[in-house]
Amino acid sequence: MNQADLHLFYEDLVRELRSRGVLCAITSGLACVHYGIAETTKDCDLLCHTDAFDELLKVLIATQILDANCSYRGNISPPLDARWHNGGWTSHFEWVPVREAVTLDVFGHALRESTPWEREILGLYAGPQTVAEMKRTNRDKDWAFITALGVRMIESDDERGWLHIFKADTLNELLGQYTCPPDILARRPSLRLAADRDPRTAGALHTERSLWEELDRSRIHILERHLRPYVSAVRKARHNQQLSLEEDHSLRIACASQFLPVNPLKNYGLEQYIDEARTTLVRSGIIPEAALTWLPDTMIYFEWLNK
């Protein structure tokens, strides 16, 4: 399946889900392609309201690609179930036709969402605010997309775009053309430095990005630790059986109920999680301790895990 056909497949999947009353939207890399800031991607990340997971599963069971059925991707995927998705887990699916696998990652919540993603939908896609927040990962390639999305938002009169500019030169150019509102400046110390033409701006932006990268690394580490017994249980229960998606789903629910905590970051302690990331940056020498004053409040991006 070529790129154009693949994108149409994902969009048609969303249209089919919407026709059934499912609240969903394409996000991440494919959304970046849609917004014109990325050239291509083979994967699709789908945001889906957790109340509609049963309907989504029915659609996935009924959807084939070149006679290939949909299945969970390997043993590592948590089940498509609201209990785990409300705690920050995601589910991973694939179709494996003759050639290359077609993949679909499903999110009940946008990772690091400061605003519910359901309020940010534009057409078939998640809005730039949601996509930019999801892109705050420890992958270097994602950061150019974040700044590009922020620029698009500012140009479209969405003032929240200022929260997503991580390049000092771009920030200085934008401040010469647009006015950053005081309430946005107050949310992000690096913006205040830039507005004052402070030479420490680039360092502050680097510090902020480093925190997000450390938070993502730490999040993955915490989740992976809890995944190991679940993956082992799934592997043992499947025992190389050829299961339908419906059968595999029931098996994973049973294994997750026994071995996978529904909300590991909340159990760990969100304040501890954030404080440890800040401390790690200093202890590892990535930033000086004085630079901690340049960091914004990041708890607002994780408060949904406390609900």
Provide the pLDDT for residue 5.
87
Calculate mean pLDDT across residues 63-82: 95
Does 1 have pLDDT greater than 80? Answer: no
Is 87:261 a contact under the CB 8 Å cutoff? yes
Bridge partners of 69?
Answer: 64
Residue 96: both structure tokens together: 């494996």
Calculate mean pLDDT across residues 275-304: 96
Give, in order, the Cα–Cα distances in Å from 142 to each of 29, 127, 166. Answer: 9, 16, 11
Does 154 have pLDDT greater than 80? Answer: yes
Return the percentage of the chain with pLDDT > 90, whole number: 92
Provide the pLDDT for residue 42.
80
Provide the pLDDT for residue 4.
81
Distance CA 164, CA 43 (A): 23
Residue 122: both structure tokens together: 């534009």
For the chain, the average pLDDT equals: 96
| 243 Cα distance to chain centroid | 29
Is 25:17 a contact under the CB 8 Å cutoff? no
Under DSSP, the state recorded for 26 is E
3-state secondary structure of 84: helix
Give, in order, the Cα–Cα distances in Å from 141 to each of 92, 122, 151. Answer: 21, 24, 17
Distance CA 260, CA 105 (A): 19
Provide the pLDDT for residue 3.
81
Question: pLDDT of 20-49, one tens digit each?
Answer: 999 999 999 999 999 999 877 888 999 999
Calculate mean pLDDT across residues 111-128: 96
Question: pLDDT of 223-253, one tens digit each?
Answer: 999 999 999 999 999 988 889 999 999 999 9
Residue 81: both structure tokens together: 């179930």
Calculate mean pLDDT across residues 125-149: 97
Is 48:24 a contact under the CB 8 Å cutoff? yes
Does 91 have pLDDT greater than 90? Answer: yes
- Place 98 in a pLDDT band, splitting at 50, 70 and 90: low
Calculate mean pLDDT across residues 165-185: 97
Distance CA 77, CA 231 (A): 8
- Place 291 in a pLDDT band, splitting at 50, 70 and 90: very high
